[in-house]
Amino acid sequence: MTKQSIFFIWLLSLSLLGISGCAKQMAKQDSGTPPPASQTNQQKDHGQTKAAAAAPTPTKTSGTDASAGGDKQMVASSASPQPEAKVAIKADKKDPSAQEAAAATKLSPLPPKRIVDTINTLTNLHRARYLSRTAQYDFYVGGKIDAKYDLGKSQLIVTNAPAHDKNSVTCDYAKNGEMVAGKKAIPAHKVEECNKLINQLDAYMTE
């Protein structure tokens, strides 16, 4: 072989060695490249599926329980009294004008119409006695009440006990229903006693 042939073979060998070394380096680089995007997404989805399976399942509240709770709250709110109502009740209790008005109504004489109705009932009651000598209608309940209506004087006289009893109360009413006061004003306690007597008289006459 000539020197030229030997030199050509040597260059060819070097070329082959260089090509093989480049191929190895390219193979190493290919092995270090990240996996495709589709493979990465599949791995992420698989991890999320495992995490979801491991997480505890939240307990569901039934619609019936929720509605029952709502109903209880509605009942409790409706049963509780409103603050405005409490304030109004306290105001009435502490209002002195309301208390004074109630006391005045209690101690005031009964309306005249009420007395006129009582007189009409007495003069038309079949159980009442009519005394022609004195022209009086008399209705008497032993030891409890005695009512007389004098036609001549047009006056109703109601007594709760015999006249000689120290605890007796005598009430005089005119034909128009007004109380006969006389010279002195009628005491409040007597007005109250007379109101009770008229109520008792009406109750006895309607029995």
111: how many CB neighbours lie within 10 A of its CB?
10
Specify the pLDDT at position 91: 43
pLDDT of residue 116: 97
Position 160: which residue type? Answer: N
Say if CB 114 and CB 177 are below 8 A apart.
yes
Tokens of 196: 């009770």
Tokens of 15: 């070329």
Q: Is the dihedral of CA 27, 29, 34, 36 positive or negative?
A: negative
Helix (H) or strand (E) holding 130: strand 129-131
Query: Rounded to two decimals, what is the model's pTM?
Result: 0.50
Burial 57-67 (b: 16+ CB within 10 A, else e): eeeeeeeeeee
Mean pLDDT by groups of 10 residues along the chain of 207 residues: 70 68 54 48 50 48 45 47 48 58 68 96 96 94 92 95 78 95 85 95 94
